[in-house]
């Protein structure tokens, strides 16, 4: 109990401000890496607070940069903080924080897209999927250029219960461009509804918890930033392989302004397209004149379940790619419209 109390009352000693750290180590945000520094510790504290109770938690921070959110996490009573930073320029400043918080901050110079976090924390933290979420959290101010591929990668990990989710239903609190944050949380029928909405919401409870104005960052991005909290669901709302769900959802939203039957048709070879699309929609009980953004997760569940049965009947169907068929027919102009997919 005494040890637990000590963890909960830890505070960092006086340190140079983040702005002073940036000057001290001559740090500049790399435009090609979509880096933007958050200097206001009131805002970094707010991000960490939205992650939930971090007392005695094990936290994985992605892209800590100069260490603003890192400081707020260290002051939240955590047991251990693991940071993974690709840019070596930030390592001296992070090491200063590590020295100020002995035994609490572990620094890895690496890439979050390839780092094996499932090996990073004690086995004793693991929980059954049906239990409450483990005392493991992911927090990060993500560079814009990796935020979408990273959340798709983690959603696939959720579906397979591996990677960061080998510990159980690990919660995530992450930043995105405001438009992406709105897409992730968008409800059925909203203008922001997209492929990303469905992929996130069939696996997680998703909350766009607050928005940070762009002027709070250095350099100021052209857009505001949204903070999004994810809690994996005990039971996915679509119980099919991630790649199958992604293929169905992706095909639907590639023609987001058309009726949904247009994109669904691209799941099938041209010679059978009309008949098979009609069969898919009929068996799934989905109105072919609904727009993609009008389709609920329940609609997608029905479509994915029926498409899976059709793939089981025809083992070559899942491998079909309509773009390859177009290329083989040497009619590249026809796939221009299909290329306007929106996340």
For the annotated binding site for S-adenosyl-L-methionine, the residues are 36, 38, 63, 85, 111, 141
CB 295 within 8 A of CB 201: no
Q: Tell me the two tokens of residue 177.
A: 């461009």
Could you tell me the CA-to-CA distances from 302 to 145, 283, 285 in Å, in that order? 33, 8, 8
Q: What is the DSSP letter of 133?
A: P
Kindly state the tokens that stand for 298.
């329940």
Instruction: Provide the pairing of β-strand 58-62 with 37-38.
Output: unpaired
Start-end of H helices in the chain: 2-8, 18-24, 41-50, 68-74, 91-100, 144-160, 178-185, 195-201, 242-253, 260-265, 273-284, 297-313, 322-328
φ/ψ of residue 44, rounded to 5: -65, -35
Q: How far apart are CA 14 and CA 90, in angstroms?
A: 19
Q: How many helices (H) and strands (E) does the chain have?
A: 13, 9
What φ, ψ does residue 109 adopt, rounded to 5°?
A: -90, 100
Structure tokens at 33: 């890496």
Contact status, residue 12 vs residue 100, Cβ threshold 8 Å: yes
What CA–CA distance (Å, rounded) separates 126 from 326? 47
Counting beta carbons within 10 angstroms of the beta carbon of residue 241, is it exposed (0 to 12), middle (13 to 18) or buried (19 or more)? middle
């Amino acid at each position: 109990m005494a040890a637990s109390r000590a963890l909960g009352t830890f505070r960092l000693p006086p340190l140079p401000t983040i702005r002073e750290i940036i000057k001290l180590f001559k740090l500049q945000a790399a435009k090609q890496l979509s880096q933007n520094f958050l200097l206001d510790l009131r805002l970094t504290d707010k991000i960490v607070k939205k992650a939930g109770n971090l007392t005695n938690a094990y936290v994985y921070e992605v892209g800590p940069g100069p260490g603003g959110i890192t400081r707020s996490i260290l002051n939240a009573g955590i047991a251990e903080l693991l940071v993974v930073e690709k840019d070596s320029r930030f390592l001296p400043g992070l090491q200063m924080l590590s020295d100020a918080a002995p035994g609490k901050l572990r620094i890895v110079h690496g890439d979050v897209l390839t780092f094996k976090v499932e090996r990073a924390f004690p086995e004793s933290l693991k929980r059954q999927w049906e239990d409450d979420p483990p005392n493991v959290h992911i927090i990060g101010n993500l560079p814009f250029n990796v935020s979408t591929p990273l959340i798709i990668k983690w959603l696939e990990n959720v579906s397979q219960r591996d990677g960061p989710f080998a510990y159980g239903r690990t919660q995530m609190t992450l930043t995105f461009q405001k438009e992406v944050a709105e897409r992730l949380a968008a409800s059925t029928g909203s203008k922001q509804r997209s492929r990303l909405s469905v992929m996130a919401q069939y696996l997680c409870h998703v909350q766009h918890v607050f928005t940070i104005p762009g002027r709070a960052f250095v350099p100021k991005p052209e857009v505001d930033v949204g903070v999004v909290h994810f809690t994996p669901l005990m039971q996915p709302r679509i119980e099919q392989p991630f790649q199958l769900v992604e293929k169905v959802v992706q095909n639907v939203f590639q023609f987001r302004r058309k009726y949904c039957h247009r994109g669904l048709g691209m799941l099938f070879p041209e010679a059978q397209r009309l008949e098979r699309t009609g069969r898919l929609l009929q068996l799934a009980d989905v109105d072919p004149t609904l727009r993609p953004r009008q389709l609920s997760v329940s609609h997608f569940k029905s479509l994915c379940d029926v498409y899976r049965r059709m793939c089981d009947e025809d083992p070559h169907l899942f491998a079909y790619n309509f773009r390859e068929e177009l290329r083989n027919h040497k009619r590249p102009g026809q796939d221009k419209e299909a290329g306007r997919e929106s996340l």
